[in-house]
Amino acid sequence: MMNAQPGSATSEIGELAAPVLHSPLLTELAVRHGFTTRLGGVSTGRFASLNLGDRWGDSPADVAENLDRVSMLAGFPPASLCQVNQVHGAYVACLSAPERRLRDADGMAAQDPLTLAVYSADCVPILLADGHGRVAAVHAGWRGTVAGIAAAAVRALVGLGATAAQLRAALLPSIGPCCFEVQEDVASQFRSVQPGAVQREANGRRTVDLWLANRQFLLDAGLRSEHIEDRPACTCCDARRFFSYRRDGAGIGQHMAFIVGGRA
């Protein structure tokens, strides 16, 4: 479960109204990070209200205002924000300077004071940190999950000098096994890599647990079980707080999961 404010005992009411959520595990490491809900912004219509995605038709001015609000809440300079072109793959780019969509990737890793940001409206955002300035941000759709992007992020951080067993990972609000119903073609791909993630109910409904699959990839990559938060809120279930592509279709808002590298 994610807290609305880092380092504080948040009431349930406060948490349900928060524009930015935080991971207790990452908060313990004093890492600046967060996951934006849809609350507290200026966008309207299907983008209401804290939309951070600028590619699905929202007003650029509204998206810019929403980003300014998040950066002020989170305490990172907008100039440090890093983005990639998310393509539902498993490539993790290692960055040493700010860049905005200069390459195709679904993850970023850094040890410099950069703000790594990935965008989602059901896919699983994963933030990782080692407490020594090394961080990663991952966008794990079902294709990226199958391809092992979670493990790729761990390898990228180890390449920067991290120790896998010291890493913390937080899976953030995304579509849960309650709602991610799939056809056999998708289920078969998961069976080939993480068979435990495929669930079939008595009524014949077939679902995939993206959280379980990504957790297992992280464990296989060397993370300790107690260092993984893997039961976030389901975006598809909660229309008040979250955008959901599965629930509402295209032309909606997107959440931003972000994490700041470097040491203070």
| 86-107 confidence digits (pLDDT tens) | 999 999 999 999 999 999 999 9
Fold of 12-260: CNF1/YfiH-like putative cysteine hydrolases (3.60.140)
Distance CA 123, CA 49 (A): 19
More confident residue, 15 or 12: 15
The confidence band for 264, taking pLDDT boundaries of 50, 70 and 90, is low
Q: Name the phi and psi angles at 142, rounded to 5.
A: -65, -35
**Residues forming a β-bridge with 92:** 107
**Mean pLDDT along residues 169-190:** 97
pLDDT at 181 over 60: yes
Sequence ranges of the domains in the chain: 12-260
If one counts every other C-beta atom within 10 angstroms of the C-beta of residue 43, the result is 21
Reported residue count of the chain is 264
Alpha-carbon separation of residue 191 from 47, 110, 143, 195 (angstroms): 35, 32, 13, 4
Peptide bond into 11 cis (omega under 30): no
- Mean of per-residue pLDDT scores for the chain: 94
Q: What is the pLDDT of residue 224?
A: 98
If one counts every other C-beta atom within 10 angstroms of the C-beta of residue 26, the result is 24
b/e sequence 59-78, b meaning 16+ C-beta within 10 Å:
beebbeebbebbbeebebee
**Mean pLDDT along residues 149-174:** 98
Contact in structure between 258 and 82 (CB atoms under 8 Å): no
Q: What is the pLDDT of residue 14?
A: 54
pLDDT at 142 over 80: yes
pLDDT at 8 over 70: no
Q: What is the pLDDT of residue 13?
A: 44
**Mean pLDDT along residues 201-216:** 93
Tell me how many helices (H) and strands (E) the chain has.
8, 14
Distance CA 42, CA 40 (A): 7
**Mean pLDDT along residues 61-89:** 97
pLDDT in tens, 15-64: 678 999 999 999 999 999 999 999 999 999 999 999 999 999 999 999 99
Distance CA 181, CA 187 (A): 9
**Mean pLDDT along residues 169-194:** 97
Q: What is the pLDDT of residue 124?
A: 98
Q: What share of the chain is helix, strand, coil (3-state, %, to 5)?
A: 30, 25, 45
Q: Which amino acid is at 156?
A: A
Query: Among candidates 54, 52, 66, 71, which has minimal Cα distance to 260?
Result: 71
Contact in structure between 49 and 43 (CB atoms under 8 Å): yes
Which helix (H) or strand (E) covers residue 175, if one does? none
Q: What is the pLDDT of residue 10?
A: 33
In percent, the amount of the chain with pLDDT more than 90 equals: 90
The confidence band for 263, taking pLDDT boundaries of 50, 70 and 90, is confident
The confidence band for 201, taking pLDDT boundaries of 50, 70 and 90, is confident
Q: What is the pLDDT of residue 15?
A: 67
Distance CA 262, CA 205 (A): 45
